Amino acid sequence: MSTKDGPAQIGDLPTIGRPATSALMAAGITTLAQVATLTRRDLLAMHGVGPKAVRLLEAALQENGLSFAD
C-alpha cells in the first residue's frame, strides 16, 4: 500500500494530510490524547509531519482542552 492509498483521517485526529497521517500511524498514534504526550519537536522529527500539520494538531488539541507536552 502506498501512502496515497492510506487513510485521510484516523481516530479523533483532524485531517492533516496523508504524509503526516501515515507518519502518526507508523508511530502508533491514533488519538489526540496520544498527540498531547508529544512535543512539537517530536512531531516535526517525524518524516512527513511539517509545520502545517503541527498547527492543525495544535488547534484540535486546544479545542479539546489539551496541549503539547512542551
pTM exceeds 0.95, yes or no: no
| Number of Cβ atoms within 10 Å of the Cβ of 44 | 13
Tell me the CA end-to-end span of the chain in Å, nearest whole number.
Answer: 34
DSSP code for 33? H
Residue 13, amino acid: L
**What mean pLDDT, rounded, does the chain reach?**
91
Does 5 or 65 have the greater pLDDT score? 65
**What confidence tens digit (pLDDT) does each residue in 6-40 have?**
556 688 999 999 999 999 999 999 999 999 999 99
Domain count, the chain: 1
Q: What is the CATH number of the domain that holds 21?
A: 1.10.150
Instruction: Evaluate whether residue 70 is within a structural domain.
Output: no
Host domain of residue 11: 3-63
**Could you give the maximum distance between any two Cα atoms of the chain, in Å?**
35
For residue 2, pLDDT beyond 50: no
- HSE of 20 in the Cβ direction (CA atoms, 13 Å)? 19
